[in-house]
Structure 1
């Protein structure tokens, strides 16, 4: 490398922090600008499974395998599919799997602890990124302008402020909206519901709607009521004034489902979130522009049904860091990274789009059962 570039990373999620960490262990410092005021300002989301060859590989390159293993839950990799009457259609305990579950909050904490003091600048929402006549980039915040930087990496998620400088495409609504809810201390307070969900993920789909519930750490279950509806449907149909009103509205939507599913909603705490699901076009790409690039959801946000989103993001970070270290010219490293990323993420994006298109269809339950069985058969073949 002829010169170490001055790097700004916009976004302190898994992609941005993984990039900062791997660069740090390689002797390259980067400034991470995060809009959250502090690490605890808002929930980081539910559990995620780290995959070999992507998320776990990124943690290995970051030198954090031991730290992630310490917080990973290898016993929560199971899958259960039930019908609306509460009858079990499919179960895979997956006790020997190698896709450990990690809470997003734990992942972020591990990454933050691995960075030097001051690497993350909190409370920094990017208002503008602009290039000066000397080819350097600057970032404008409420507190003023930061820069100059040679490379600005947009790791700032679905509604990236950096993406419009590279691509005219905006994420499009998938037709699916999630209403997120949670249950606390389930093993002690709701043992029957804990058994319903099991050690991993439980799904039920019927009548154009679904519930997915996942076991998180600390005896917490995070649930999602899923509907194929217009973007403003929840706001129009639900009374959102109080948690109890939202809870009752959800219970009415699942009238006719087994009592266990209604009880799952009824036992929820007072934290709800409405999450319309957006995605960029499959094969989203852009013409390389010196000094700018994108990672993770900023580059290729997709529906969560493929299960590859965070893993793709962390592998993006690992690959960009690798090329910045290995290539003589950092500009060529960024261009090469983009070309490889465009090709690598197409399969994941296509699968996620296909899953979103068929989810909650007339054949949704049968398709889900077929998918789970095929995944189990594929995993069995890979063992030999």
Structure 2
């Protein structure tokens, strides 16, 4: 593959500009505890030198040091050369373009402009999502949302986690990442989580003292992870717990009405034979006529001879009083059923 690319570049006479201010693309970035923001960049044109003012995405800074692909320090790098860059004031996103700026002032103004533009775009997207959810909920019922604030040590992990979160959920539940970024969990992250009722996830990062005190005081759930799959599994489990349980019915007993008579105390009483299962006094029932449900309700009484009983088993005669229903006829079936809630999962 490399030989084919090299041959194609040679045939197309593709060459890079060497003697010019450097420009290229960010491959990866992370927040190093000792060195601060570190960005891995690939130079596409020009020459990058130590001391240059660089802007990358929403961040800028002066190049304090560069490391080549062997980890050795270097003072300059040319086209097609990947280097680790130290000196930016933040961790840019993978795929962001970087370039050498004329001076620090212009780099700062451009970075602030990009940051403000991105913030407005995020706010507009969140507002549109709120409106979409509001109208959808009016039609389909309320959708349960798991709100998260995610902080990671490197940009690549952050993008992988946010992408995985966007793919979870269904028509009933979903994940909404309210805030995300590279670096430790700060007081602003804790405030956002407390305000919107979100859970805070830290991937290979920790909360500072102020943020931890605020989260504990507000009762916000804070979780730390070092394996992405464990984080995703926990989110899946949380979403599964938010799903409405599946309601299943089980017929536990059927009695056939043999005769109907009246009691001064209980009103209409159906003399029955339990054909299948067990008839329970405290479970819901249906009355069927010609295999069609004509009433659904509860039992008023269940008697065996002159005694009140809680259940009657198959092959046994009993007297059944149906609450608030007086049209039971011989030949009807009284069906006793039970409902169970079955937990669902994604």
Greater radius of gyration (CA): 2
Please identify which structure carries the higher strand content. Answer: 2
Please identify which structure carries the higher helix content. Answer: 1
Please tell me the TM-score bracket, short chain as reference: under 0.3
